[in-house]
């Protein structure tokens, strides 16, 4: 398996440290995984912040095309992703394949959405229009039990809206997510999507980071 890399500013890089990923069926070490440092989180956030203005200005149709390309990449690697998910998470292969396929489907679903203007008032006195604008850098923290489908609930929605993303999978199930980073790194401009893995020690740094404007989090309070 692997080697696995972090995705920071469009580049696949080693972590500043490594950590073991355990096969829950055998309790043996499956592989050594990159572990990002706080400095690497800061690098990822800085890259996402730099990438944000151009991505936010990218026409939504181009952002849709990027999501569809990501969906194709995920579905095209279905078997490898599913078997990796089985080994790190423990669910049956059929369920893992359904999760990966479902993730690709959610990327396609979000690509079908629009961000329409809403006319709140149009009278002789005034015209008021509501327009949706991206926030900036968004953090996405994903748990261990459905790591790929829950990633697909968060990442494509943020990207479609014009945000840039820092994605952090659970410490116990980082491999499939890191594999997706390898698959999609050339489908987006550098810095638009960054993927880091940690030993459950960077969540607080993400939620308190001054340059992260929003966090989508699924998991325990711990």
User: Is the pLDDT at 222 greater than 90, yes or no?
Assistant: no
CA-to-CA separations, 125 to 6, 61, 121, 122, in angstroms, rounded:
54, 34, 9, 8
Please give the pLDDT value at position 71.
98
Confidence of residue 63 (pLDDT cuts 50, 70, 90): very high
Please give the pLDDT value at position 201.
95
pTM, 2 dp: 0.94
- Superfamily (CATH H level) for 6-217: Aldehyde Dehydrogenase; Chain A, domain 1 (3.40.605.10)
Where are the domains positioned within the chain? Answer: 6-217
Confidence of residue 33 (pLDDT cuts 50, 70, 90): very high
Confidence of residue 170 (pLDDT cuts 50, 70, 90): very high
Q: What percent of the chain has pLDDT over 90?
A: 93
* pLDDT average, residue stretch 55-65: 97
74-127: pLDDT as tens digits: 999 999 999 999 999 999 999 999 999 999 999 999 999 999 889 999 899 999
Rounded to whole angstroms, how far apart are CA atoms 32 and 3? 9
């Amino acid at each position: 398996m692997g080697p696995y890399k972090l995705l920071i500013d469009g580049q696949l890089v080693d972590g500043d440290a490594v950590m073991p990923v355990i096969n829950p069926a055998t309790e043996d070490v499956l592989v050594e995984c990159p572990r990002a440092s706080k400095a690497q989180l800061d690098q990822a956030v800085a890259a996402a912040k730099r990438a944000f203005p151009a991505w936010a200005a990218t026409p939504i149709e181009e952002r849709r095309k990027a999501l569809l390309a990501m969906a194709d990449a995920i579905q095209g690697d279905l078997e490898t992703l599913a078997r990796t998910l089985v080994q790190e998470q423990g669910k049956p292969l059929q369920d893992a394949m359904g999760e990966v396929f479902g993730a690709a489907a959610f990327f396609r679903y979000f690509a079908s959405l629009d961000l329409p203007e809403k006319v709140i008032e149009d009278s002789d006195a005034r015209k008021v229009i509501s327009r949706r604008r991206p926030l900036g850098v968004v953090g996405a923290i994903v748990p261990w039990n459905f790591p790929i489908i829950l990633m697909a609930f968060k990442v494509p929605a943020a990207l479609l809206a014009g945000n840039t993303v820092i994605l952090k999978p659970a410490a116990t199930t980082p491999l499939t997510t890191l594999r997706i980073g390898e698959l999609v790194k050339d489908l987006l401009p550098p810095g638009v999507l960054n993927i880091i893995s940690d030993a459950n020690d960077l969540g607080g740094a993400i939620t308190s980071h001054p340059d992260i404007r929003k966090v989508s989090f699924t998991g325990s309070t711990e």
